[in-house]
Amino acid sequence: MSAKTLLRRELLAARRLLTGEDIERAATVLARRALELPEVAGARTVAAYVSMGSEPGTRTLLDTLRARGVRVLLPVLQADNDLDWAPYEGAEGLRKAGRGLLEPAGTPLGPDAVLDADVVLLPGLAVDGRGMRLGRGGGSYDRVLARLAAAGAHPALIVLLYDDEVTARVPEEPHDHPVDAVVTPAGPRRFSDD
């Protein structure tokens, strides 16, 4: 079993211990902390995702951004695990999709819509002091990051995590890309300035 697989199992087991109250409380703080980053506070377009289960909550942040007039794009998972994007029109505009995900019901804009984002909020399980992110292993966001790099797009790459998910070292592979910052309930931390 790979180091990434072992670390994923450990982190997911820790998340399963969180209560609904823990998750909601963290989501409220995460929204406030994310908006402390000038990139997020000043963004015109943010590519994000709808958190599920015990993931650090994004819904408060999504609604806050939308209420501020920010264009929020959410992923639509394709059969090949690549991501298309569609506008977030509020919780009532979400529909159940495969793998227990919620996706926007609106018309997808194409995989390249993410290139217009000022900020890309990435899901993850951990990040280390170099900004290397550990995802769930499906490769969808690796494709997004490769697409951004190939197009020369440079949105702020930010991952939302719980405090104890910022670790000393995340195993990495050649296709992995570092993020610019992490936001936890304790506050944001930049990696590009370290």
pLDDT given at position 162: 97
Q: Are 51 and 57 in contact (CB under 8 A)?
A: yes
Quote the pLDDT of residue 136. Answer: 85
Q: How far apart are CA 173 and CA 170, in angstroms?
A: 10
pLDDT for residue 192:
65
User: Per DSSP, what are the bridge partners of residue 183?
Assistant: 160, 188
Q: What is the pTM of this model?
A: 0.94
Q: How many CB atoms within 10 Å of residue 95? A: 11
Tokens 């050649």 identify what position?
174
User: Could you give all domains of the chain from N- to C-terminal order, each with its CATH number?
Assistant: 3-190 (3.40.50.10420)
Helices (H), 36-191: 38-41, 59-67, 140-151
CA-to-CA distance for 96 and 94, rounded, in angstroms? 7
Position 194 scores a pLDDT of 43
Q: Say which residues have a Cβ less than 8 Å from residue 13's Cβ, sequence separation at least 6.
A: none
Number of Cβ atoms within 10 Å of the Cβ of 134: 23
Per run of 10 residues, the mean pLDDT along the chain (length 194 residues) is 89 96 96 96 98 95 97 96 96 91 95 98 95 90 94 97 94 89 96 62
User: Token digits for 47?
Assistant: 């590519």
| Residue found by looking up tokens 């209420």 in the block | 67
Dihedral pair phi/psi, residue 36, rounded to 5°: -75, -20
Phi and psi at residue 148, to the nearest 5°: -60, -45
DSSP character at residue 85: E
Residue 39 sits at φ, ψ, to 5 deg, of -60, -40
